[in-house]
Amino acid sequence: MTKDFEQMQILNEAGELADNLWNEIIKWPDFARDTVGKQLVRSVDSIAANVAEAYGRYHYGEKIQFLYYARGSLFESKNWINRCVNRSLLTENKHKDCADSLTNIAKQLNGFVRHLQQRKKYKRAQTIREPSVTYETQDPSPPTLFSNKELKWLANYESQDEL
């Protein structure tokens, strides 16, 4: 991830969509803004926020997980945009613009995830591992701890203690 944070195309496009929808939603009547509008603003803002969080993570698995969160927010945003059209809060033209933007962002998210998965796999292949070794002993039989004489003495000693 060599690009500067502010220059990421996906982040800029998600932010632009969020700002455009904000400017539209802020003009809605109170009830529409408080119910559907707030949900839509949160979900579309969450796309860029999760991409940004992925950028800031160190491990590939974490980065990918946050990109999956961003994709979930993208689908949530699509749902809310469809609700807005059905409730005559957004025009068909605005709906088409938002749908096109979400589709473009989704393609970039999938490409970003694929890129990180390939990098993760490449890094794993580059890991230096020591070959496994089988250790063997020279004498396969365990050493004798006590001689027969000592065992007899121990047996007699224990029986004498019991008396």
DSSP 5-63: GGG-HHHHHHHHHHHHHHHHHTTS-HHHIIIIIHHHHHHHHHHHHHHHHHHH-SSHHHH
The C-alpha atoms of residue 112 and residue 53 are separated, in whole angstroms, by: 14
36 lies in a domain? yes
Q: Which residues of the chain are under the pLDDT cut of 50? A: 1-2, 162-163
Instruction: Look up residue 143 and give its amino acid.
Output: P
Give the pLDDT of residue 61.
86
131 lies in a domain? no
DSSP 137: -
149 lies in a domain? no
136 lies in a domain? no
∠ at Cα 71 (66, 77), nearest 5°? 125
Give the pLDDT of residue 30.
94
- Helix or strand run (H / E) with residue 98: helix 92-126
Q: Which domain holds residue 98?
A: 5-126
Output the domain CATH number for residue 110: 1.20.1440.60
Number of domains in the chain: 1
The residue count of the chain comes to: 163
Torsion angle in degrees (nearest 10) through CA of 16, 64, 123, 112? -30
156 lies in a domain? no
45 lies in a domain? yes
Tell me the pTM: 0.69
Give the pLDDT of residue 155.
77
Give the pLDDT of residue 147.
80
Give the pLDDT of residue 163.
43
For 43-62, write each residue's pLDDT tens digit: 999 999 999 998 888 888 88
